[in-house]
Structure 1
Amino acid sequence: MFTSEEWSKTKLLSSVKGKAVEATVTSISFWNGISLALSVFTHLVKVLRLVDGEDKPSMAFLLGALKQAKEDIRKSFKKEENATPILKIIDEKSKGRLDSPLHYATYLLNPIFYFKDSSMSNDTKIMNEFLNCVEIIFPTNENMQSTIANNELLKYKNKFGNFGRKMAITAYEKVDVYHDFDPVGWWSNYGGDTPNLQKMAMRFLSLASSSSGCERNWSQFEGIHTKKRNRLETSRLNDLVYVKFNANLMNKKSKREMDGDSLLSSQASEAQG
């Protein structure tokens, strides 16, 4: 734009604001700053799109995706100390939000993370939070706590029985993109030797990690239950919202299959939806 013939003919070229904008956009330091911002936010946006998506429950992948994003951010800097302030901000924002016993338990129970990182067993934080989660879920049943922690969890960690089957291992080792893996289905297929842990894992791994779905549902209610239609019966209102919400999901899915999952600049006005 600023090297074009059109720019040289405009009155803005000699104005104070025009000169300031041209100096900014043609500055190497400006583009270095843009590059720096992208090297951080590109990885964080991937996590946000995973959490905000509607393809599958995201709780199973949240901590793993965030850990990978932090690692990618660290690698994008030539000096690790330059990444430290940014990683510190991420950790501060995560504290009290993404570090509950449930988050850590779900991270541990996703085989695509656990079996690809053998050091997880030695991570005191992860193991303590998993045990805290078991105590929270079964507060008065000490026998159940003991069975899960001292028996069934060890079978999972040591690949006992079906966990050690070649097809079970292949299921998570052959996946290129970790969130293409179905951990709930995996536990359903191979967790039969640990029925209590299996039930617990399938419930946890089926959870969403964001309220986005609820927000979208409320938006549908607002669009249908207007001042002119405030006499709708509850059952009819629920049916209309159900049809509208699922119709939107079907349209999104078909569009994604046709156009892919990329967000183009021409679709910027649709980004909120």
Structure 2
Amino acid sequence: MDNSSTPASNSEAVGSVTSLKRKSDDVGWEFCELAVTNDPDKVKCKLCNRVISGGVHRLKQHIAHIKGNVASCQKATPIDKAKCMQALLHQKKKKEEKREKLQELQERVNISEKNSNEVEILESCTTPYSLGPMDSFARPISPADSLVESRKKLRQQNINDVLFKKRTSEVHAYLARWVYESAIPFNDVNNDAFQQLLEAVGQFGPGYIPPTQYQLREPLLKQAVETTKETVKKQEEEWKKSGCSIMTDAWSDRKRRSIMNLCVNCKLGTTFLSSIESSADAHTGKYIFDYVDKWIEEVGSKNIIQVVTDNASNNMAAAKLLNEKRPYIFWTSCATHTLNLILEGIGKMPKFKFVIDKSKELTIFIYAHHKTLSLMRKFTKKRDIVRPGITRFASSFLTMQSLLEKQENLKYMFLSKEWLECKWSSTAKGTKIYSTIVSQTYWQALSMCVEIFKPLVKVLRLVDGDWRPSMGFVYGELKDAKKEIIRICKGAADI
């Protein structure tokens, strides 16, 4: 009885220690941990053991010896100071860039001022104004009464910070309710168009009447189409000026329909050109070539530098046909797909295939049963193992990395009293999974597997991002990844 209860108590201790660590890329967490569980405002410096209020940002000031808010850490080395100072400067730069971007978006909004004729027709409209110490913002915010109240002369009075915060909170509450009731994703509030909408409504003033469904379906949609065409014209001019790339891919939707997309990319951005449903057609090299060649004619063959696709055999057959007809246009393989094939190839090597298969088997077993899944979430503090990635193999890598991070939690789970009482513990699969969990050989091999794949997954993330073109750095990053893998393999005697 005592033996079965011991793992559970140990798991609580492990959970407590683990909860003091934060899963963050912020460099500040290298030098601190939470002083109090689940309170990110109080952190403890690992160098001098000082408890600091103000979170990880204040801790970085502590390490970097920035005076004014916190005492300096006397045990920080010059390298530690430089790392935290660089992180603080980078954070400050990002905030400044965000502020400048928001200001730029607001400046693009220009609501025309009304003339004397418009006053008679639209009494509810007011001229653009900015927040001042004495203005209409002093009255209560009530959307239901705005049409009536906007026709009255507003009483002017002083406004202070407390009133401003209260009114801001009221506006936030109305906006939040609309977001919740309309099931709008939270990250949509970061959309540039949303920021411009708020600025436009603010400039318009009280009494703004939103468009009807008909206006959104017909005139406003047509207006948006015309605006998009004007934007495309600018990109078409750029195609002629500096060239462009054709990108095509095939995928299946939820109804299992096969769809092919075609886009054009230049330094101004990516433009969607065409989409066809090809469920009834065989995706042969000739079929893909005909589809791409048609749009090469539309865009202008002299403007196209390359065609980008994945490395499937039918795409390679289409590349040969294009080379015969238009030898001056390159057919380039997708960097993301190429890297994914490299990772899959390494993963098929016996040394790594064994670890990957064991990890998949462990993950599938835990997620296949309600009881095992509930136990896992209990011992990992409701953190999941399965994590989605850029590609299928990237997801497998992230899952293996997650397993490694939760190694101690999973061990305590399978040594706990709850697992012994679970009906799955006595099954053949349960016994096999238990053997895997308690096997030190498996965890050592998993650790090595993650370290080997990590440099290539890093490159995969870089090339899949939209923040900058990857052509200029992908070869250098691959070379660095190769050197890192060689270094790791030399340090391992069994590879």
TM-score (normalizing by structure 1) = 0.29
Greater CA radius of gyration, 1 or 2? 2
More strand by share: 2
Greater share of helix residues, 1 or 2? Answer: 1
Normalised by the length of structure 2, the TM-score is: 0.16
